[in-house]
Structure 1
Amino acid sequence: MGKKSRKRQSRPEGTPKPKRHEVAYVERPFEGLPAETDLVAMREIIPAATLSVRTTAEHGDREVQLVTLLPDMLPAIHRDDDAVLVALQTGMRSGDASRDVAAALLEALDLEPGSALTTAGLPEPGPRLQDVLDLTGPFEITVRDSFDFWLTDEAKQDDNVAAALEQANANIVPTVKVDGVRSAYWVRMGAREFLRWARPEDQEQVLNALARLHAARESAVDDGAKFVGAFRSAGILIPVWELAPGTEADELAAPLEAFEAKLEQALASTEALTADERRARAGIVSRQVSLR
């Protein structure tokens, strides 16, 4: 059958193609969710983590695991044991990450156990995570050093599966959530350690506050640490510090609590930036990176 014939068979000639409704762009897609900054971190800077959530009664009152990444960049898996895993790091990107994840979640709930969502396309407008999830839940993130959450205990007994899992785990960059503060993550890259701290405040306010501290030579979070720039992602800012060589995550809790007090004071300032602070801000902006 020729191309023209196939086309005519699927849609009669002269019939207008149904118009697809695109999802509107949302600069800060996870705003309003209790774990906004952790969700952004899971989407962009954490290799392996899970976050347990529960859907509303309207959507089945089901426990679901939001996860960083699934095998082959799958959007979602409905495991044999009936656990539902929905990925934040996928190749599918509309203008609203919250709508993307919610669409995959709702489709995964309808899958048979033991199935994966493999062909999720860009969704049309519809429920977002803010509509689908019970927002009174704890929303606690668990950072992991393995992707073993992908599998049931039975599946892990398969030698081929275990080998594939070991290979995936080898690519995980060591990452630890720092205790005592929200959404601060220590990471070791080669022989260097860094701190990435997702902030919930308005991006421009965070930039101004960091500029005030940087101009006053108070932008280090710890002795030997150096503020090196920031990521922008999903409407929030993620400042980055290079830490003194050998610094471990458990050494950062007290220094970060003390630094956060200084940062909050700088955030509260309503005075115009001085010339030195404006120069510091321009330097920070020149080094920032926008992530998708």
Structure 2
Amino acid sequence: MAKKSRTKSRPQPVAEGEVGPRQPCPCGSGKRYKACHGAAGGAPAPFVNRPFEGLPSECDVVAMRELVPAATAELTLKDSDRKVVLCSLLPMAVPAMVRNSGEIWLGLQVQHNFGDPARDLGAVLEKALESEAGLIGLTDPPGEGPRLQDLVTGDALSVTVHDGFDFWVADVEDEDERAAFTASLEHANAAAMPTARLTTVDSAYWTNVGSKEHLRWVMPEPEDQLLDALARLHAAGKDVLVEGSRFVGMFRAHGLLAPVWDLPVGTGPEALEEPAERFAADLKTALADDSDLTAEERSARSGLANRQVTIR
């Protein structure tokens, strides 16, 4: 009888930007990709790599879902004048709630994940439009319904970053109703880190985590182009925002990259406004450069690619 080969099969190389079979599934389930959306017929729903593409201020929506503790932005519906507010987080992480005023609040940071958060949002918005008041849940996959992009219009969102979650009850006068949110409110406020959105550039958020400060900046450019441009700036020493700051890597979330800088404690958001605006101008120039990368720039690109963390 023939002996079994003792040579173990080597893992196949993974192309840049793709997810390897043993890596965590980008859907956020906590499973390996091969046991989740990478499994033949085993995925709970088709995984959408860039689910918020086509929404107004896509980069801000990604930031509100993954990076920003407390923020809101009003949406404009295509076929209704009903007021809809997109929120980073709602009490108990519910997908939506209809206020006594008739306003609809949609939550981005939720506990479920059915493969396409934009379709999930579309489903809960449709349920909320049919409800008079109360919390709106989503316990089953939404099926073939409209995505949020299909229901809203506009080019940009006006994002308001809050110090905490007191906005949940700011217009609630009934003491019993306010008390119902007390536990969720206290827990959420305790976990909320000070955060601010920069005004000179889009989708860049400063945050203070206590031991240090960060700038996290969600960018819309295709990954390969953005990595080339960031590598050019890194090799040229043009990615230092303020003295003592350091470009440390990137998050990959919902198909977009979010470069991250470590900042000295005490920097604050105001000190970043002019440097961020300058960096954005340098980045635009680097993105327009289609020449081959130099050896130093290729080395910088490789280092940056190795410092990516996929969070969704």
TM-score of Structure 1 vs Structure 2, range by shorter chain: 0.7 to 0.9
Hey, what does 2:21 align to over in structure 1? none
> 1:124 Cα shift?
0.7
| Structure 1: distance between partners of 2:81 and 2:179 | 36
Q: SS of the residue aligned with 1:170?
A: helix
Give the percent of matched residue pairs that are identical in Structure 1 and Structure 2: 45
Normalised to the residue count of structure 1, the TM-score between the two structures is: 0.86
| Structure 1: distance between partners of 2:237 and 2:95 | 44
| Structure 1: distance between partners of 2:297 and 2:175 | 54
One-letter amino acid of the structure 2 residue matched with residue 198 of structure 1: V
Hey, what does 1:222 align to over in structure 2? 242
Q: Which string of whole-angstrom CA distances, capped at 9 and with x for unpartnered residues, describes residues 190-233 of structure 1? A: 12111000111112211111111111222212222110000001
Segment of structure 1 superposing worse, 97-106 or 38-47 = 97-106
One-letter amino acid of the structure 1 residue matched with residue 51 of structure 2: P
Hey, what does 1:4 align to over in structure 2? none
Please tell me whether the aligned partners of residues 155 and 161 of structure 1 are also in contact (alpha carbons under 8 angstroms).
Answer: no
| Structure 1: distance between partners of 2:181 and 2:256 | 37
Match of 1:25 among 16, 30, 47: 47
Q: Which string of whole-angstrom CA distances, capped at 9 and with x for unpartnered residues, describes residues 146-190 of structure 1? A: 212323321467456446523321110111001111001000011
Structure 1 position 116 matched with structure 2 position 152: no
Match of 2:117 among 97, 110, 113: 97
> 1:23 Cα shift?
5.3
Q: SS of the residue aligned with 2:306?
A: helix
Normalised to the residue count of structure 2, the TM-score between the two structures is: 0.81
Superposed counterparts of 1:159-198, under 5 Å: 161-162=181-182, 164-198=184-218
One-letter amino acid of the structure 1 residue matched with residue 154 of structure 2: L
Please tell me whether the aligned partners of residues 231 and 289 of structure 1 are also in contact (alpha carbons under 8 angstroms).
Answer: yes
Segment of structure 1 superposing worse, 115-124 or 245-254 = 115-124
Please tell me whether the aligned partners of residues 70 and 87 of structure 1 are also in contact (alpha carbons under 8 angstroms).
Answer: yes
* Cα 1:71/1:244, change in 2 over 3 Å: same
Q: SS of the residue aligned with 1:186?
A: strand
Structure 1 position 145 matched with structure 2 position 163: yes
Structure 1 position 48 matched with structure 2 position 66: no
Match of 2:108 among 82, 88, 94: 88
> 1:69 Cα shift?
0.8
Match of 1:128 among 136, 144, 147: 147
Superposed counterparts of 1:46-85, under 5 Å: 46-57=68-79, 60-85=80-105
CA RMSD of aligned residues (A): 1.9
| Structure 1: distance between partners of 2:131 and 2:243 | 51
Please tell me whether the aligned partners of residues 78 and 108 of structure 1 are also in contact (alpha carbons under 8 angstroms).
Answer: yes
One-letter amino acid of the structure 1 residue matched with residue 284 of structure 2: E
| Structure 2: distance between partners of 1:184 and 1:64 | 24
Hey, what does 2:4 align to over in structure 1? none
| Structure 2: distance between partners of 1:201 and 1:219 | 17
Report the number of matched residues.
268
Q: Higher helix fraction: Structure 1 or Structure 2? A: 1
Match of 2:58 among 26, 33, 36: 36
> 1:26 Cα shift?
2.4
| Structure 1: distance between partners of 2:240 and 2:299 | 18
Q: SS of the residue aligned with 2:125?
A: helix
Hey, what does 1:203 align to over in structure 2? 223
Structure 1 position 231 matched with structure 2 position 231: no
Please tell me whether the aligned partners of residues 74 and 116 of structure 1 are also in contact (alpha carbons under 8 angstroms).
Answer: yes
Q: SS of the residue aligned with 2:191?
A: coil
Structure 1 position 245 matched with structure 2 position 256: no
| Structure 1: distance between partners of 2:172 and 2:273 | 34
Unaligned 5+ segments in structure 1 are: 1-21
One-letter amino acid of the structure 1 residue matched with residue 282 of structure 2: K
> 1:33 Cα shift?
1.9
